[in-house]
Amino acid sequence: MSQTLSDLGFILSISEKENGFLMTLFSEKYGKISGFSKISKKDHAHFQPGNLVTFSHYARLEEHLGTFKIDLEQSFQDTFLFQKEKSNLSFLILNLIFYGLEERTVYPLLFEKLKKIFFSWKQENTHPLKDYFLFEKAFLQDTGFGFNLTQCAITGTKKNLIYISPKTGQCASQEAGEKYKDKLLPLPQFFIKDGTHFSQKEQKEARDTLVFFLSKYFSMQLKSFLQKREKFLSYLD
């Protein structure tokens, strides 16, 4: 049975083929979805990865690749193009979604977080790296790895939470985790407290703690992404 799907979506990838362009989008209602589009080479410049589009997707059967009819809703890459940090981080976010999510699996909260981040990055008074790390954290949570950062897993206290378990994703207080600290990961304070100072120390902690969990649970599908991430974030050392 043929079907037509319509929604908003972020372009994750686009590549030119013999009869058009192969595109993959990340949409709110349908998750990651791929298809061909007959956009002209002239219009191709408007449909770059990261831009938000409205689309209709037609396929004879659900398992068929299908075709897109798309219209530009909001361009972000023309803003990010001349801002190296935002350009690099937006590239990483799109790659994380492209390689890390299954086709046709819906993640509405992740979609809304991406939308909020990209619109906020069009403003100047933002913290792109902090937003990026919080997106990685949300990605892990929404794909099934549940952090529990509300209280110490050992004592139940909600004070002085500075460690996170590499096995369970639960946190530990400074006092309770002291004797296990060599086996624990640092818990960046901006993970649990709004408005905290985003220090160089916290940036490195977030980079190293998050890559541990991304590598642990997504090592195969995220191999290419993790290599790019290491390269782009090496300046934090």
pLDDT, tens digit (0-9, with 9 covering 90-100), for 169-207? 999 999 999 999 999 999 999 999 887 678 999 999 999
Q: What is the mean pLDDT of the chain?
A: 92
CATH code where residue 36 lies: 2.40.50.140
- Alpha carbon separation from 44 to 6, 33, 79 (Å, rounded): 21, 19, 17
Of 159, 115, 154, the closest CA to residue 138 belongs to 115
Q: Which helix (H) or strand (E) holds 37?
A: strand 31-37
**Residues 42 and 142 grouped into a single domain:** no
**Residues 70 and 143 grouped into a single domain:** no
Residue 63 lies in a domain: yes
What number is the average pLDDT over the span 107-125?
92
**Residues 50 and 150 grouped into a single domain:** no
- Report the number of distinct structural domains present in the chain: 2
Query: Which of 78, 112, 142 lies at the terminal end of a domain, its last residue?
Result: 78
pLDDT of 56 > 60? The answer is: yes
State percent of the chain over pLDDT 90. Answer: 78
**Residues 230 and 163 grouped into a single domain:** yes
**Residues 134 and 73 grouped into a single domain:** no
pLDDT on residue 2:
65
For residue 22, list its beta bridge partners: 15, 36
Alpha helices in 31-83 (DSSP H): 77-80
State pLDDT tens for residues 10-51: 999 999 888 889 999 999 999 999 999 988 777 777 899 999
pLDDT on residue 196:
66
pLDDT on residue 124:
75
State pLDDT tens for residues 77-90: 888 988 999 999 99
Separation between Cα atoms, residue 122 and residue 161, nearest integer Å:
34
**Residues 66 and 131 grouped into a single domain:** no
Residue 34 lies in a domain: yes
Domain that holds residue 50: 3-78
Does this model's pTM top 0.75? My answer is yes
**Residues 228 and 152 grouped into a single domain:** yes
